[in-house]
Amino acid sequence: MAQQIRLKNEEAEIEDLTEFLIKAGHGVKGLSETELGDLPQQYIQPQSERPSCMKIMDESSIPIIDVSNWDDPMVVKSVCDAAHKWGFFQIINHGIPLEVLENVKLATLAFFSLPPEEKRNYFKHTSPSNHVRLSTSFIPEAENALEWKDYLSLFYVSDVEALTLWPAVCRDQLLDYMRMSQVVIKPLTEVLMKGLNINEINEKEWSAMTGSKRINLNYYPKCPKPELTVGVGRHSDVSTFTLLLQDDIGGLYVRAPDGENWIHVPPIPGALVVNIGDALQIMSNGKYKSIEHRVIANKINDRISIPLFVNPKPSEVIGPLEEVLKESGEKPKYKTVLYSDYTLHFYRKNHDGKGTLEFAKL
Ligand SMILES: COc1cc(/C=C/C(=O)SCCNC(=O)CCNC(=O)[C@H](O)C(C)(C)COP(=O)(O)OP(=O)(O)OC[C@H]2O[C@@H](n3cnc4c(N)ncnc43)[C@H](O)[C@@H]2OP(=O)(O)O)ccc1O
Ligand SMILES: O=C(O)CCC(=O)C(=O)O
Ligand SMILES: [Fe+2]
């Protein structure tokens, strides 16, 4: 990120964007609150990444699946078909109480409402741990154009660690949610494995698929020129799968199965969005697909979303599962990779659609 760019508007003169966003702890939320009329040039995305270049399919929708009975063969089929064809679906009647979800959203708002002097302590160079990291955009050091988002990223190791390290203003609500999320994570993993003809999941496979968790609190403040920038650029998640809780504003788009168009993911009260990540695409040898998605910025409203990334353990070596190769007779499409190498590769570059997967392709 350029260091010496001057931003001017009637209210504010910001000497140095990095200083303002990160060192002083304002983030892009603080920038939005200065009510600047123009977008700082660092946020201007190339034409091809702007919303005007998106072909949007209004009439289409990702599947909405009632998962009140995970054992129902129709539910199993709907989930596995959706993971194969769409890589994205919404689940309703999932068993996580509405109150728990509402508390997570309130806790997210509470964290971002902290004064900048407090938030600055969580940015990379001042955070007490690399398991707690507040950032703005995605990886400013690696990006050609910034994204209009702040996010707190929390890597879960244990309740004891989280109670010590995670910000007090949101930790209890997030831990409650993480605990409750098992009522989705366990049956969802089992169902997805059934679709690969794996009916018993051994200890090693659980760890390979769900051994680590990361929760991000995303804050997209309102933006003076949403047509010139993005909330999050095109990417696929590097997780096994992600459970995404969004508020009622909207703005998340996923790539349609035709690979060209984009489809909006409408907020549904109480629902969770599920998306397949790269790790599961690799383990299923491409049967389940991680899908490109992006968020457009909003001129009028702030928006929050909370992805819970369910991942392999960083120390896990992942590759196409033996059972999948045996059952299908297919050749592996991906090599085996150390999961932390894969994640680091993702964290060292711009969002680039499904570019991260090239790292594992044979
Ligand atoms: C769409 O916008 C996004 C998306 C995301 C995340 C999407 C996902 O799919 S998250 C799932 C990722 N999986 C995991 O976190 C589990 C596996 N974890 C690991 O392998 C490790 O924890 C690690 C991520 C490799 C970090 O290893 P560690 O030993 O702790 O080393 P560090 O020194 O802390 O970090 C190394 C390197 O990575 C960068 N980094 C680490 N964590 C984050 C983070 N949460 N957000 C951004 N960048 C991170 C860090 O800056 C270091 O880079 P250097 O160049 O300084 O070495 C997330 C954000 C979005 O906007
Ligand atoms: O905000 C959203 O709806 C999606 C965020 C996202 O894709 C991510 O954090 O990986
Ligand atoms: Fe994502």
What pLDDT shows up at residue 58? Answer: 86
As a whole-number percent, the residues of the chain with pLDDT over 70 amount to 96
Give 235-267 pLDDT, tens digit per residue.
Answer: 999 999 999 999 999 999 999 999 999 999 999
What pLDDT shows up at residue 35? Answer: 84
Instruction: Spell out which residues line ligand 2, taking CB within 6 angstroms.
Output: 216, 218, 232, 237, 244, 246, 252, 293, 295, 305, 307
| Cβ proximity of 134 and 150 under 8 Å | yes
Lowest mean pLDDT, pick from 32-36, 115-119, 236-240: 32-36
Q: What would the mean pLDDT of 21-27 be, rounded to a whole number? A: 95
As a whole-number percent, the residues of the chain with pLDDT over 90 amount to 91
Which residue among 341, 343, 345, 356 has the greatest number of ligand 1 atoms within 8 angstroms of its CB, and so is best to mutate?
343
| Cβ proximity of 347 and 251 under 8 Å | no
pLDDT, the chain, mean = 94
Distance 253 CA to ligand 3 centre (A): 10
Atom of ligand 1 nearest to the CA of 138: 61
Paired tokens of 153? 């990223």
Q: What would the mean pLDDT of 278-303 be, rounded to a whole number? A: 98
What pLDDT shows up at residue 345? Answer: 98
Distance 243 CA to ligand 2 centre (A): 10
What gap in Å lies between CA 60 and CA 105, rounded to an integer? 28
Which residue among 112, 218, 245 has the greatest number of ligand 2 atoms within 8 angstroms of its CB, and so is best to mutate?
218
What pLDDT shows up at residue 278? Answer: 98
| Cβ proximity of 295 and 220 under 8 Å | yes
Q: How confident is the model at residue 36 (pLDDT cuts 50, 70, 90)?
A: confident
Question: What beta strand segments (E) does 247-313 contain?
Answer: 252-255, 262-264, 272-276, 293-295, 303-311
Distance 275 CA to ligand 2 centre (A): 10
Residue whose C-alpha is closest to residue 275's, from 86, 78, 104: 86
What gap in Å lies between CA 220 and CA 295, rounded to an integer? 9
Q: How confident is the model at residue 204 (pLDDT cuts 50, 70, 90)?
A: confident
What pLDDT shows up at residue 291? Answer: 98
What gap in Å lies between CA 220 and CA 308, rounded to an integer? 17
Atom of ligand 1 nearest to the CA of 348: 55
78 residue type, one letter = S
What gap in Å lies between CA 83 and CA 144, rounded to an integer? 32
What pLDDT shows up at residue 2? Answer: 34
The neighbourhood of ligand 3, an ion, using CB within 5 A, equals 237
Name the strands in the sheet holding 64-66, side by side, starting at the edge strand that comes first in the sequence.
64-66, 88-92, 272-276, 241-246, 303-311, 212-220, 150-156, 132-136
Give 122-145 pLDDT, tens digit per residue.
Answer: 999 999 999 999 999 999 989 999
H helix intervals, the chain: 17-18, 27-33, 73-85, 98-112, 116-119, 159-165, 171-180, 182-194, 203-210, 278-283, 322-328, 339-347
What pLDDT shows up at residue 37? Answer: 87
Atom of ligand 1 nearest to the CA of 218: 61
Q: What would the mean pLDDT of 310-331 be, rounded to a whole number? A: 96
Atom 61, ligand 1: residue with shortest CA distance? 138
Q: How confident is the model at residue 7 (pLDDT cuts 50, 70, 90)?
A: very low
Element (H, E) at 66: strand 64-66
On the question of pLDDT at 324 being above 70, the answer is yes
Give 224-237 pLDDT, tens digit per residue.
Answer: 999 999 999 999 99
Judged on CB neighbours under 10 Å (0-12, 13-18, 19+), 277 is buried
Q: How confident is the model at residue 9 (pLDDT cuts 50, 70, 90)?
A: very low
On the question of pLDDT at 154 being above 60, the answer is yes
What gap in Å lies between CA 189 and CA 240, rounded to an integer? 9
Distance 293 CA to ligand 3 centre (A): 6
Q: What would the mean pLDDT of 341-355 be, rounded to a whole number? A: 97
Answering whether pTM is above 0.80, one says yes
Atom of ligand 1 nearest to the CA of 233: 1
Any bridge partners for residue 305, and if so which?
A: 218, 246
Ligand that comes closest to the CA of residue 351: 1
Between 255 and 207, the more confident residue is 255
Lowest mean pLDDT, pick from 4-8, 111-115, 225-229, 334-338: 4-8
| Cβ proximity of 190 and 197 under 8 Å | no
